[in-house]
Structure 1
Amino acid sequence: MDKFLLLLLLLAVFPFVFFQGVGPTTLCMVCENFKRGHCLRGKSNCTMEQGPGCRTRDFFIFTDRDGWRYNHTQLDCSNNCQSMNYHLGTLRISIFCCKGQDFCNKYQGKGLEWKPY
């Protein structure tokens, strides 16, 4: 009887010990050039098992006539993703990171207009 209880205890604890630290995977969209609701180049998927997750990068270009104008979006997986906005001269990039829900980086039509924060 004691061996049976010990076996039950081991079977109950084994999954928690064996799978400790393994989180759920997140499936992300990949697209090198996304514009007007369509992936124009590099359409695929990637899977994040650990790390920050899916990344969306909106690219804007500054012109004297129009100011900051949306140019295109890139979608991918990233181990070092941090949500932020930064600019390099006339190029501005807005980065959004997400995980925990498949295709959370699916482009939702944001980024058509950029307003300074």
Structure 2
Amino acid sequence: MFALLMLGMVFLSSLYWGDLHEHEDLGTMCYKCNKYHLGLCYEVMSSCTLKHRQSCAAENIYVLTTKGQSMYHYSRLSCMTNCEDINFLSFEKRTELICCKHSNYCNLPMGP
């Protein structure tokens, strides 16, 4: 009977410790800013935690010159669902989307 009681206590404590360990992992953190340029966030810099199917994202916005060259303007930093690295091109601007989730705060642009 004592062995059965001990087995039950071990089982319940393992459930408790497994649940506690699960809450310790806060997930991957990303920067969040609507207008980031040259190391500064021109609004409020905050952070977001990745959820299922999300990645940290850096949307780099470039203005196109009359000669067709791209000039870096600013970046948008966020957590994005179903993020894929891609380039969008229109007549006036180019948007480069870079996604990552390999480490905390990996979506900080490294320069133009």
Quickly name the TM-score band, shorter chain normalised. 0.7 to 0.9
Q: 1:40 aligns with which of 36, 39, 42?
A: 42
1:7-51 deviation digits (Å, cap 9, x = unpaired) = 979987xx5xxx7xxx97210001111111111113111111321
TM-score normalized by structure 2? 0.73
TM-score normalized by structure 1? 0.70
Q: Does 1:31 align with 2:30?
A: no
Structure 2 unaligned segments of length 5 or more: list them.
none
Aligned counterparts of 1:107 and 1:54: Cα–Cα separation in 2: 11
Q: Which runs of 4+ in 1 moved over 3 A?
A: 1-12
Paired position in structure 2 for 1:60: 62
Residue identity opposite 1:37 in structure 2? G
Paired position in structure 2 for 1:91: 93
Aligned counterparts of 1:88 and 1:80: Cα–Cα separation in 2: 22
Q: 1:82 aligns with which of 75, 79, 84?
A: 84
Q: CA RMSD in A?
A: 2.5
Deviation at 1:100, TM superposition (A): 3.4
Residue identity opposite 1:94 in structure 2? E
Task: Say how many residue pairs are matched.
Answer: 105
SS of 1:41 mapped into structure 2? coil
Residue identity opposite 2:102 in structure 1? G
SS of 2:76 mapped into structure 1? strand
**Which structure dedicates a bigger proportion of its chain to helix?**
2
